[in-house]
Amino acid sequence: MSYREVQRNNSKKLTKLHKEDRKWLKQNGYKNVGWEHVINLYHKIEEFLDKYKFEDLTLEELFLEADRIGDKYLTSQEREEFNCRLSKEVNEIADAIDRHFPETEIEFIDFGNTTKKTSRKSHYKSYRTIKL
């Protein structure tokens, strides 16, 4: 990018920053004038915007992102071993839950008798479930 393009880009992205961050940039001498200042400002703005990306993520999304980043540093064999161990542990936990909380009700789905509903869309079927 040329000098003017970087300046324009900085100006546009500065509006996306929080007010406190814009104030911090000004207090710490980041300017949009002078080639070195413009480049430093560009990098700092990108840093802030990257930080904002993670602020809006849910806890689940943060864990997935951390997992994705961690996978970059593992070989395929290490990932496979980890997934195998994880699968075994998850199955052991599921078995323990089943032992402590056995399901005493059996559920059957009756596909033979449909419930009678009057609807205009006759191509939909509805079924009833029976718990014993």
- Over residues 52-71, the mean pLDDT reads 83
Total-model pTM: 0.45
pLDDT at residue 73 in the model: 87
Residue spans of alpha helices (H) in 15-117: 19-27, 35-55, 59-71, 76-100
Q: Is 87 exposed, middle or buried (0-12, 13-18, 19+ CB in 10 A)?
A: exposed
Query: Which residue ranges make up each domain of the chain?
Result: 3-55, 59-100
Contacts of 57 (CB under 8 A, 6+ apart): 65
- At 97, the amino acid letter reads I
Residue 85: pLDDT above 90?
yes
Residue 83: pLDDT above 60?
yes
Higher-pLDDT residue of 106, 63: 63
pLDDT at residue 132 in the model: 59
Q: Taking all residues of the chain, what is their mean pLDDT, rounded to a whole number?
A: 84
